[in-house]
Structure 1
Amino acid sequence: MTSNIEEADLILVNTCSIREKAEHKLYSLLGRLKPLRKNKPHLKIGVTGCVAQQLGGNLFKKAPFVDMVIGPQCIYNIAEVIDSLSEAQGRVVATTLSPNFQIPAAPRAPLPGRSTVRAFVTIMQGCDNFCTYCIVPFVRGREVSRPAQDILKEIDNLVKQGVKDITLLGQNVNSYGKGLMSKTDFPGLLTMIDKNFPDLRLRFTTSHPKDLSDDLISCFSDLKTLCEHLHLPVQAGSDQVLRRMNRKYTVESYMEKVQKLRKSCPEICLTTDIIAGFPGETDQDFQGTMELLRKIRFDQIFAFKYSERPGTAAAGFDDKIPEEKRKERLAQILELQNAIGLEQYKRYENRILECLVESSSNRGLQARTRGNHVVNLTGDDQLIGQVLDIFIEKACHHSLKGRIVN
């Protein structure tokens, strides 16, 4: 492994296809990698992830110098794919999506140069929801869960390496457990992790609101390890838009779950996703989204203008919003949220928060609160990996500034 791309003999570019912009970034990066082949003819370049699955061999038409195209299910067999390059005369496409796919057990060592304080553990893969705007079910396959014992083994391995903060990953972690012999659901998995690793900081993403059960909400008050943060994508504040998105919940039911969360865990920090300019979104629909932001007051949002994805139901809708209108609505959403977010962050000023010091840079140390807020502070690199009490001096946009109490 090397952090210098010019020293590499193999370069793998992992991709996302949830928005068109990510594809554009891929081709831009590949264009910068192409000249490296002149000085190193034996260099191998592979594209992995969702764009690889979406395009398959068609990717070679735009980037003929790429050697491998590897989809999400085949990435676990990457060693075999690389070994097969010589037999395939330099090009391999591995994009099989099997209905019988099982996520393999994957104990691992940390990547060189990466922080060993935080880690991400996949607990499920795929999605069965088929939201009309989303390409994920087509490129990730149907939902499949990892056995709980495999997950516990991987977490144990990471904790022994010094990891203190783990995020459980899945396209819809709330539906964890489908197809498992043990019948363990997601609250059950969280409880098992809490029992086995009482000193861990535990998080998860992403959650679908329709699958957010009362049992899962109770976990935020019952489990010491579970951090007070939840990313709960709402996408829109209009029932009409939500129906066309096939989200299977209403604005009212979403608000009810937010109220339950805040009653169960008053300190919980909520973040969300918003799509601006979905096909058919009226001015009234858009104002519904703005009103939802004002009522809920998320700590942070991830907002994007609608991006048409090939093969999705929404791609066939004939009432698309003009690009300029999408940009305009996105700008209004971000302007409103910037003001709300800063006010939300200001509630931490002059408070002492428990923070895990994660990394350092030329500007100092960076820590993270249990609510997933980044805190910038000064201190020695020896503090990395320690959980400290930090006095919050100032709230900034998207971060906090603090100092060590003791």
Structure 2
Amino acid sequence: MKLVDEADILVKAGNGGNGCVSFRREKFIPKGGPDGGDGGNGGSVWLVADENLNTLVDFRHERRFRAERGQDGMGRQMYGKGGQDLEIRVPVGTVVTNLATEEVIVDLVRHGQRFKVAQGGRGGLGNMHFKSSTNRAPRRATPGTEGDERELRLELKLLADVGMLGFPNAGKSTFIRAVSAATPRVADYPFTTLYPSLGVVSIERDRSFVVADIPGLIEGAAEGAGLGVTFLKHVQRTRILLHVVDAAPFEMDCDPVETIVAEVRTIEGELARFDPALLEKPRWLLLNKIDLLPEDEREERVAAVLAALEWEAPAFAISAIAKEGTRAVCLRLMEALDTIRAEAREVQAVAEAAPTQVPEVQAEQPAQDGPEASGPDEDDAR
């Protein structure tokens, strides 16, 4: 199924029911008095994160959602029934933005996480609330309030541990096919990958991670060239970035090392334009298609590229199509992710164990030479 990662929707909570004006009418009970009941509250609209969904395609045609209205109040002090809440299920990783204010309302990152995006209206009061010693037959009731109405933008950011970057035809899709059960499209022309895809890499039982295959970038993507940076948001949540480059570029009249270095710097520039924080993430270099080079030139090519880039992060020479070196990359990724996850758990445990700091409030001391303030008991007595 094609990934749909953005959708605009309109949500409308239910209005509250109106209060009722009614008087008690029964045999042998003259002047029974007001007995109009309250209206029911309107239903609210909730967004619920569901791990069984992986796209916003359901919102392409259905864009308006309305919760149930509260029932009007009735005589004999009968309250109206409250409107039923409406739950809208969205994929885990959905960011919700209020289009009116461009403010991010919530980021749904856990399965089952719920958030109320529109509050239902309150039910109106019946006339039994307005009776008094001077107004024994009130003919007044209040209407129910209107429920919230909002235009929302849903934006899906895939939850993956590892994100892949690189020029078109660098071999990102081939790599993800080699290390996982994912089957992204592979062909011998640029922009084969038109939307992101996820693959689960299983190292052993209960040890796995998720890789996101992102469509290729080119120079000027930040200004809309190629597929632009539309899909770079999907690597904002990743823990590690894999920068895939072609170790054997086709340009015959150019120095291959200079070509590789230029491609790496171009991608770095596009990352900086999109979100500088992406450059601070751990980024590993994969020199792919190493099988196209003679064996006696491979080490020299890799060393020259790393020296020209002054690369300090992990780097690997692989052949994704031949699955050469891909296992070693996955094992190193799993080790790094285990460390990152353990550190995150420790930080969370410390944060949860830390006691909540309550600021101390010192009582004001009365002036030494002034009259003592009277206590509340004395004020009441007076």
**Greater relative contact order (Cα < 8 A, sep 6+):** 2
Question: Which entry has the higher C-alpha Rg, 1 or 2?
Answer: 2
Q: TM-score, normalised by structure 2?
A: 0.26
